[in-house]
Amino acid sequence: MPLNSTSKSSPPPQVLMERCIRRPWEAYVEPFRMAPGVWYIAGNDWVACYLLETTDGLILIDTAMHENLYLLLQNIYKIGRTPFEIKKVLISHAHIDHMGAARALKELLPAAQFYLGERDLEFLHERPELIAGSPSVTWGLFEPDALYADDKPIVLGDFTVKTVSSPGHTPGCTSFFFDVTEKSGRVLTCGMHGGVGLNTLTREYFEEMRQPSSLRDEFIEGLKKLDLLEVDICLPSHTNQVGILPLRSQYSEEFNPFVDPSIWHELMNERLERTYALIAAGQ
């Protein structure tokens, strides 16, 4: 499974978000399985959201944008479940494209537990301008019910999600890892880096948004640390980071086209190289 080379030359995030929310029919993606009990559920082809079917309800990883929430909810119904089964919502980081729909979801699911990385609380409480990409996009502030603690995995039913604080793209950015078991008994580790976008790691961004440039050092250290992990299925946080869409029709109980332990390392190293290139270019 090749990394999608278009991820290097894709349009700016703002352009892609506008396409998703203004012309959702062009971006819509049917739900598809990536592993047993693991669904790509986002309802768009840009921001990935995953639904985990545990033996005790559902876990949602990231919410995408408020404007696209109806498509995510529709996709949950399409796989024969209901949004009201969601017990935990794990947000990778406090950017509008990953948590834009969190407020609306919280209104819908008051009993669900919403999680966020502690260092992103500052975005919610003091720097909301760091969350929003555009004043024309609707979103709402919310308060998480719990903060991630890397020594306390999130457990629901038969799923145990291990979190790894991954500062850089945002200070509270968090990565997720969990195992699933195939019918054959083969155990597969799924991993999602919480945010590998370099758009918030340039000198210009740090200066303009008054963010510490040490975030770039943390990002580099984090990539090196995460590269040591073995991940069988690399779940991208933005769909085009890994070429998953062309492979979705090949998935069956007998064959999983997303299993490729090299992809995780390729993604970590590609981002490392691009970060070093930014530094070398003085950006």
Q: By CB under 5 A, name the binding residues for Zn ion.
A: 95, 195
Angle at 157 between CA 77 and CA 109, to 5 degrees: 45
Q: How far is the CB of 132 from Zn ion (least distance, A)?
A: 11
Residue 81 or 95 having the CB closest to Zn ion: 95
Q: Which residues of 49-59 are buried (b: 16+ CB within 10 A; e: fewer)?
A: bbbbbbeebbb
Residue holding tokens 């510490």? 212
Nearer to Zn ion, 37 or 172 (CB): 172
Q: Which residue has the tokens 């008051």?
A: 110
- Nearer residue to Zn ion within complex by CB, 144 or 195: 195
Residue 14 CB-half CA count within 13 A = 8
Cα–Cα dist 264/226, whole Å: 9
Minimum distance from CB of 237 to Zn ion (Å)?
A: 8
Closest CA to 29 of 18, 41, 11, 17: 41
Instruction: Please name which of 270, 268, 275, 122 lies closest in space to residue 203, comparing C-alpha atoms.
Output: 275
In this complex, which beta carbon is closest to Zn ion, that of residue 54 or of residue 170? Answer: 170
DSSP E strand boundaries for 75-193: 86-90, 113-116, 146-147, 154-156, 159-165, 174-181, 187-192
Distances (CA, A) of 202 to 9, 44, 107, 223, 278: 17, 27, 36, 17, 7
Select 99 or 231, whichever has its Cβ closest to Zn ion: 99
Closest distance between Zn ion and the C-beta of residue 96, in Å? 8
C-beta of 99: minimal distance to Zn ion in Å? 9
- Beta carbon of residue 93, minimum distance to Zn ion (angstroms, whole number): 6
Q: For residues 117 and 191, which CB has a smaller minimum distance to Zn ion in the complex?
A: 117
> Tokens 């969601």 — which residue?
86
Minimum CB separation of residue 164 from Zn ion in Å reads: 17
User: Which residue's CB atom is positioned nearest to Zn ion?
Assistant: 95
